[in-house]
Chains A and B, each alone.
Chain A
Amino acid sequence: MSELLLKIENIAKFFGPLKVLKDISLDVNKGDVIAIIGPSGSGKSTFLRCLNLLETPTRGRLEFKGEEYFNISKCKDDFVDYKRYVHDYNAYKELYIEKEDNYAIFQNKYLEDKKKYKSLKSEIKQKKKEFYYVKKHPVLKEKYFDNDAYKNAIKENPNIIIPSKKINEIRSKMGMVFQSFNLFNNYDVLNNCILAQTKVLKRKYNEAKEIAVQYLTQVNMQDRMNYKIRELSGGQKQRVAIARSLCMDPEIILFDEPTSALDPEMVGEVLEVMKNLANQGMTMIVVTHEMNFAKNVSNKVVFMENGYIVESGTPEDIFNNPKEERTKQFLQLK
């Protein structure tokens, strides 16, 4: 039985009214290569960023190697009385339109012929007052938020947000490779790999350099170690980014669409590096649009849409006989 590395329970992420992730649970075992596929805008990247808390999830529970590092079971949105809110909001909207019309009709009438409708002036003032009163007192979401119930719920199972020092420790064990590389522009290739080692893991410079050279050789970048970042091509940048996260000896690496910004030739060289990593037994979660990579390298494929996991399973199951209609449609199988 393989060791459970990362436990993800009921993760949700809302940006105001926009619900990007609704309810996602996933277990990641040691040595797993999980490919997350799905249409653009389905929350794949947000999900990945929630795992190392670059984005704070609204609700959910995260566990790394049996150690809980994030737990919010109740969020504020749960205590908003949406039924009443929507009802009142609609009523308010109607009232607003009515008062505005009322005011506008009289006002226009008056403007048509000022002398003739002079007597209307006081009435217009009244209508104006009524309209602005309604305008100034909108229906706010806060009124429907049950603060006491929220506080009680928090008292029962308090939110666990661990101190930032601990978060940094967990992040250092959880490498991340970005779509836009995010290499440090003010350092050269070698120092990009050394910096975090010396500052976070407190390694000696020479030791860090040895490790950096070792991993840069692994990604086939050994002869470009003194290059500036802007002198590299996209594929080379991405390989350096992979080496940079490998230098921290991570237990898991999160890939956020590592090949989306590259041309087909460079995609090949980056995927080659990732394939080698997978063969060495590195745990990886890969958000990708490369279906061939998902099919050949991963041992679990997750299909996500609209903030839910629609279907997950082995690549054979997903690509050859998917159960859900939506998966078939996305993969264009008939």
Chain B
Amino acid sequence: MIDFGKMRNVLGQNFTFIIYAIITTVILAIVGTFVGLFLGIFLAYGKNLKTKEMDNGAVKTFKYIIKGICSIYSTVLRGTPMMVQALIFKFGSQALGLNWGDIYFQGEVNNVFNGWFFAGLIVITFNTAAYMGEIVKSGLNGVDQGQFEGARSLGMSALRTSFSIILPQALKNSLPTIGNELIVNIKDSSVLNVISVTELFYRMDLIAGKNFAYMECYLIAAIIYLLLTLIATGVLKLIEKKMDGVKFSFNPFRFRRSFKI
């Protein structure tokens, strides 16, 4: 069923294209996750806005509007598939006169950075932001209220407290979920093939059709996705340990005690 010789041939002939596709996937996932996280922080603060009794009418209305926009954003973006969002984005921008396919660079760079790549990056970023908003919001709410009071009692302003005390703890607590989102993004970037972003799945699909080697190509894609997610998991574990203050070593041959004395 699986022709390993064919598999090797396919790999050998299209090696550079596969590497470009891997780079595309990785950049989509990493940039999408972290810019999404950045936007998600604003979204979380928007959703967490609370009206105070002291606020006057204008401030209250402003807060309600911001809160409403944030919750509509996350409801819509979380409630529709990314594939549909990508297509709407593609044809929507075409209707406005912007064809992403027109943007291209000369030379090898075009294999990764082309118009469709940027379109895909925007879609994945704004899609991730909706999820990140929810993740960061729960992280913010999970931080003990006492931390806030402790900082305020020392005379720190609300903004300063948020950035120095609350947000770092919230992000640390939600790091596993953020990492999860990165792994999901590595895999889910494959749906961007509908707007012809040449990421890993789309490239392997093209190669499969050209060489009539479907099983082989999809198997290669699956293995590469698995490797990417395994690497991501490992890196995230190291970051988590580092944030926990536990010293770690990169040497895999180092003898480790199995329990602490």
Contacts and interface: CB of A to CB of B under 8 A. Distances in A.
Contact of A185 (B153, B154, B169): B169
A195 interface: yes
Given A180-B146, A228-B245, A186 B165 contact: yes
A173 B144 CA distance: 24
B172 interface: yes
Interface majority SS on B: helix, strand, loop or mixed?
helix
Given A168-B156, A200-B154, A185 B147 contact: yes
A298 interface: no
B166 to A, nearest CB: 9
Interface string B127-165: 000000000000000001011011111111110100011
A293 B245 CA distance: 39
B156 A161 contact: no
B153 A176 contact: yes
Contacts of B152: 54, 171
B164 A199 contact: yes
Interface string B94-120: 000000000000000000000000000
A52 B151 CA distance: 12
Contact of A184 (B54, B147, B172): B147
Nearest to A159: B54
Nearest to B171: A186
Nearest to A177: B153
Contact of B155 (A161, A200, A228, A241): A200
Contacts, number: 69
Contacts of A245: 153-154
Interface string A162-179: 001100111111111010
B11 to A, nearest CB: 46
A13 interface: no
A195 B153 CA distance: 13
A33 interface: no
Nearest to A245: B154
Contacts of A176: 153
B68 to A, nearest CB: 25
Contacts of B176: none
A288 B156 CA distance: 26
A196 B165 contact: no
10 contacts: A54-B152, A165-B157, A169-B155, A172-B154, A176-B153, A178-B146, A182-B144, A184-B151, A184-B165, A185-B147
Query: Which 3 A-B residue pairings sit nearest by Cβ, starting from the closest?
Result: A172-B155, A182-B150, A176-B153
